[in-house]
Structure 1
């Protein structure tokens, strides 16, 4: 395909893969983005990131890097800092925003003073969980700086983790030295994508079983997406407003996705922002392309808009 709409052809390196817990999803995101860049007429190189990434980028001399990495070190400011030092333009958020957004505790400190409702809670040493609960049950334990619901555990009175949690029971406490403990918010899972300066839509996520964990996000058929969500207009508008405000307060660029829990017995007061993802997935099951389609924007146009923002 040629160069649509007269856009200037550029050399794009799609940076993907890496070594985070989200490597496989990043490879799928990167493949889709690279194919879209080629259809848009750009000279495109798909690069599976390894420890020699700086050398490879120096050799390739891209006009722009499409950052298709998920998790650390591609989403936590590390890669952003490297690209800043190399003077290479890149998609999505910059160094400072990435550092804050991937850290759930830092995000709270940045967003709550601006009137964005988020769950309470605090960081605990994993070792302390074997002695007693940090919060009344039910509560949620999650890594402070991982995305895609990696390592999330819901501790309930009737659960199988033990009381207190057993040292030998599988869970994030075996993988991480520290965890964020938050009150569990009953209700419904909602998410809103922001592109540029526009909140796109609200999607409700209905996992077929359990909660919206890593497998539910990336395994076809495990979660039903309802877009637009069948929720009251006031709740939908609150999601759009909070997602856009969080995007702006954190200084996000390109696209972001805000995830919510809504206790539907409490109206707007039951809506909580859980986290802001600064590099949302672009796989066939991903939510940002789905919401873009809802507003009439195809996948290639979405990729082109993110690239244009970076340039």
Structure 2
């Protein structure tokens, strides 16, 4: 029997991932209510501090995705208010949402990540920053928002044309990384445990925002049908990254694995400190695989926050 708590669930907000956050937040809130907790649902607006002060919760479940809920801004506010909250704290959130800072924190400790270079989007119309194929991504967005793969046969031009559709039209700076051929893997971590390895197989294209959150566009293979030593290595890398960054609660590490190169072809791409909790999300799926229900997962995240 769990001790009833008053939990404020922060969701929504104004990031590119608003709709996913609302789905995550309402799922979490429903689960908390089934467990007997009192729940205050807050679709975050600019008055969020006032609404939290009025609610006076025992703990805040942060179900926000993207900025400002995942980048340290909300974490700093909650710290100033003296409120306990789920998931990672201010410093970890600032580092983990910035893909280049994440590399600087993890690579010196032996975590293999693709070498990247930060480029001005304007410069892409003059020359390629690195040899094709390469990946361009915003430095501090999640859920594959704004990711583009630039190939020799792509239709964006040589160099990238100014009228070609892509993240260079939206973001002033981008991170350029070599494209790693192979397979998309992900590992969830809860507390001190890596849960499983899932392979993500998009029906077409790559695992972008639409493929992540549209039912039927991606096949999840859990556990991934990969060699045991690759699975162990991925799970250990995810757990090490979780601890090195100082993550709390749950995180999810995304990988590319070039299966022609064995263990040397396994690269960590990024660490998500606020992984989704929707019906299609990977952390609840891996929790189910190890025998943990959605409600038990939510309760475990709450307990670590306390």
TM-score clears 0.5: yes
TM-score, normalized by length of structure 2?
A: 1.00
Once residues 41 and 56 of structure 2 are traced to their aligned partners in structure 1, the CA distance between those partners, rounded to angstroms, is 13
Match of 1:255 among 224, 237, 250: 250
Name the counterpart of 1:278.
273
> What SS does the corresponding residue of 1:151 show, helix, strand or coil?
coil
> What SS does the corresponding residue of 1:159 show, helix, strand or coil?
coil
Is 1:8 aligned with 2:3?
yes
> What SS does the corresponding residue of 2:74 show, helix, strand or coil?
helix
Name the counterpart of 1:82.
77
Q: Which runs of 4+ in 1 moved over 2 A?
A: none
Match of 1:132 among 127, 136, 141: 127
Deviations 1:170-229 (A, max 9, x none): 110111000000000000000000000000000000000000000000000000000000
Match of 1:172 among 155, 160, 167: 167
Name the counterpart of 1:233.
228
Once residues 30 and 216 of structure 2 are traced to their aligned partners in structure 1, the CA distance between those partners, rounded to angstroms, is 24
Once residues 36 and 160 of structure 1 are traced to their aligned partners in structure 2, the CA distance between those partners, rounded to angstroms, is 46
Name the counterpart of 2:58.
63
| CA-atom RMSD in angstroms | 0.4
Kindly state the Cα deviation for residue 145 of structure 1 after the two structures are TM-superposed: 0.2
Once residues 116 and 124 of structure 1 are traced to their aligned partners in structure 2, the CA distance between those partners, rounded to angstroms, is 23
Kindly state the Cα deviation for residue 103 of structure 1 after the two structures are TM-superposed: 0.1
Q: Which structure 2 segments of 5+ residues have no match?
A: none
Kindly state the Cα deviation for residue 61 of structure 1 after the two structures are TM-superposed: 0.6
Is 1:181 aligned with 2:176?
yes
Is 1:195 aligned with 2:190?
yes
Name the counterpart of 2:153.
158
Once residues 162 and 19 of structure 1 are traced to their aligned partners in structure 2, the CA distance between those partners, rounded to angstroms, is 33
Once residues 169 and 50 of structure 2 are traced to their aligned partners in structure 1, the CA distance between those partners, rounded to angstroms, is 35
Name the counterpart of 1:145.
140
> What SS does the corresponding residue of 2:283 show, helix, strand or coil?
helix
Q: Which structure 1 segments of 5+ residues have no match?
A: none
Deviations 1:240-282 (A, max 9, x none): 1000000000000000000000000000000000000000000
Kindly state the Cα deviation for residue 168 of structure 1 after the two structures are TM-superposed: 1.1
Match of 1:304 among 270, 292, 299: 299
Query: Map of 1:12-31 to 2, 5 A cutoff?
Result: 12-31=7-26
Kindly state the Cα deviation for residue 16 of structure 1 after the two structures are TM-superposed: 0.1
Once residues 289 and 306 of structure 1 are traced to their aligned partners in structure 2, the CA distance between those partners, rounded to angstroms, is 12
> What SS does the corresponding residue of 1:90 show, helix, strand or coil?
coil
Once residues 121 and 8 of structure 1 are traced to their aligned partners in structure 2, the CA distance between those partners, rounded to angstroms, is 47
> What SS does the corresponding residue of 1:72 show, helix, strand or coil?
coil
TM-score, normalized by length of structure 1?
A: 0.98
Is 1:213 aligned with 2:208?
yes
Kindly state the Cα deviation for residue 290 of structure 1 after the two structures are TM-superposed: 0.2
> What SS does the corresponding residue of 2:232 show, helix, strand or coil?
helix
Name the counterpart of 1:293.
288
Once residues 242 and 308 of structure 1 are traced to their aligned partners in structure 2, the CA distance between those partners, rounded to angstroms, is 25
